Amino acid sequence: SSIFAAVEMAPRDPILGLNEAFNADTRATKVNLGVGVYFDDNGKIPLLAAVKAAEEARLKAAPPRGYQPIEGPAAYNNAVQNLLFGKDSALLANGQVVTVEALGGTGALKIGADYLKRLNPAAKVYISDPSWENHRALFESAGFVVDNYAYYDGATRGVNFDGMKASLKAMAPGSIVVLHACCHNPTGADLSDAQWAEVVELCQAGGLVPFLDMAYQGFAEGIDADAVAVRAFSASGLQFFASSSFSKNFSLYGERVGALSIVTANKDEAARVLSQVKRVIRTNYSNPPIHGGALVAAVLSSPELRAMWEEELAGMRDRIRAMRTGLVDAIKAAGVTQDFSFVVKQRGMFSYTGLSAAQVEQLKSDFGIYAVSTGRICLAALNTKNIGYVADAIAKVL
Ligand code: PLP
């Protein structure tokens, strides 16, 4: 018999399943609020003008396609470091930071997880309750036991900060804490700057290993403002991990562009850590692909393209914010008295709306509006054409 005869069907990815159902829906008014992708006001995934310009220049130069260094090109890794840590960072000047190119934010988390498993195999990993659904699976597949720390407060639709602090205090030294650097997915609820300072102190006091996941830099307040957590940990003297994704802020989803940065205690340590991380990469995919990283490096290192990108990034950020305000206003205008102003306070692409699974189901069956059963919606899928329809539908299912 076949060697695959006993293989069971793995459970479907809930969000990809939602996309399949959406694609099969024939209603012209259907709206997909389930995905984690930024769409423009025409409902299209943008190709940023800065990226297009960099791409055209590359095409013209027609460079050869040799292997890249295992860790990716220095021009890319340096550009990423400057974005994440700030170009005046003392850690960068000291050579304490290891940065390697990775296959998107997901690839960065996986390299980091695999390396951490070698570094400290007995450590436990903690992710926020709730978190991006892949966090648990990624760290479990690296061999870790994964648990939650308290994070979201359904009553305030914000952060349960007392609960979070209690969770951090209860962790064993050496525990790995995965933190959303900004634009928390799925809730949209972020920590304040002052709260980050407290989290840094607790990580320091508890001997914890922070792993900052930065998937949306520039989507909340701005490039530097969104790096406040990274900067606070940088100033603390702690060692920590940070993953970067350029899927959203460069609209390069399918090119798989990201990076893993590891802050070590000194330059000598950094060299040794890099040598070990390279082994992890070498035995996974050897070295990263060229194209996406070359575009990001080109945009970040050209003053002209960089200015163009910053403007386009601000445009995406402002559009999401306008959709947040617009949705709250339109729900109110539809006669709903329940307070939805929390949607404006939440940041990034997502909102935990508080809609129940039954209400989400009704949005789908009665209106062709698709959301995650937890009530998470993607604000970046709203536009000036569908926002009224969505607000009216929400008003009807409440
Ligand atoms: N981390 C978080 C919190 C995310 O929301 C995402 C994407 O949805 C990622 C990581 C992964 O990003 P990428 O598509 O670059 O792998």
Q: What is the pLDDT along the chain (398 residues), one digit of tens a residue?
A: 999 999 999 888 878 789 899 999 999 999 999 989 999 999 999 999 999 999 999 999 999 999 999 999 999 999 999 999 999 999 999 999 999 999 999 999 999 999 999 999 999 999 999 999 999 999 999 999 999 999 999 999 999 999 999 999 999 999 999 999 999 999 999 999 999 999 999 999 999 999 999 999 999 999 999 999 999 999 999 999 999 999 999 999 999 999 999 999 999 999 999 999 999 999 999 999 999 999 999 999 999 999 999 999 999 999 999 999 999 999 999 999 999 999 999 999 999 999 999 999 999 999 999 999 999 999 999 999 999 999 999 999 99
Determine the atom of ligand 1 nearest the C-alpha atom of 257.
15
CB 157 within 8 A of CB 352: yes
Please name the residue whose Cα sits nearest to atom 1 of ligand 1. Answer: 215
249 CA distance to ligand 1 middle (Å): 11
Please name the residue whose Cα sits nearest to atom 4 of ligand 1. Answer: 215
What are the residue numbers of the active site?
Answer: 132, 213, 248
Determine the atom of ligand 1 nearest the C-alpha atom of 36.
8
Inter-residue long-range contacts of 359-363, CB under 8 Å, 24+ positions, other chains counted = 359/397, 359/398, 362/397, 363/393, 363/394, 363/397
Q: Rounded CA gap, 155 and 362, in Å? A: 23
Q: Rounded CA gap, 277 and 256, in Å? A: 19
Identify the residue whose tokens are 């930024």. Answer: 38
- Which of 16, 101, 106 for a ligand 1 pocket mutation test, highest count of atoms within 8 Å of Cβ? 106
Of 92, 53, 97, the closest CA to residue 71 belongs to 97
Of 208, 202, 154, 152, the closest CA to residue 177 belongs to 208
106 CA distance to ligand 1 middle (Å): 6
Name the strand (E) or helix (H) holding 323.
helix 303-333
4 CA distance to ligand 1 middle (Å): 32
Q: Rounded CA gap, 366 and 223, in Å? A: 40
∠ at Cα 17 (12, 21), nearest 5°? Answer: 150
What would you measure as the largest C-alpha separation in the chain, in angstroms? 64
Please name the residue whose Cα sits nearest to atom 2 of ligand 1. Answer: 215
Residue 236 is predicted with a pLDDT of 97
User: Helices then strands (H, E): number in the chain?
Assistant: 15, 13
Q: What are phi and psi of 32, to 5 degrees?
A: -105, 100
Q: Assign residue 218 a region: left if phi > 0, alpha if psi is -120 to 50, beta otherwise? A: left
Q: How many Cβ atoms from other residues are within 10 Å of residue 233's Cβ?
A: 26
82 CA distance to ligand 1 middle (Å): 20
Please name the residue whose Cα sits nearest to atom 7 of ligand 1. Answer: 215
Determine the atom of ligand 1 nearest the C-alpha atom of 256.
15
Residue ranges around ligand 1 (CB below 6 Å)? 36, 104-106, 132, 180, 185, 213, 215, 245, 247, 258
Q: b vs e for 273-303, b when ≥16 Cβ sit within 10 Å of the residue's Cβ?
A: bbeebbebbeeeeebbbbebbbbbbbbbebe
2 CA distance to ligand 1 middle (Å): 36
Please name the residue whose Cα sits nearest to atom 6 of ligand 1. Answer: 215
CB 243 within 8 A of CB 109: yes
117 CA distance to ligand 1 middle (Å): 21
**Amino acid present at 203:** C
Residue 15 is predicted with a pLDDT of 80
Identify the residue whose tokens are 């850590």. Answer: 273
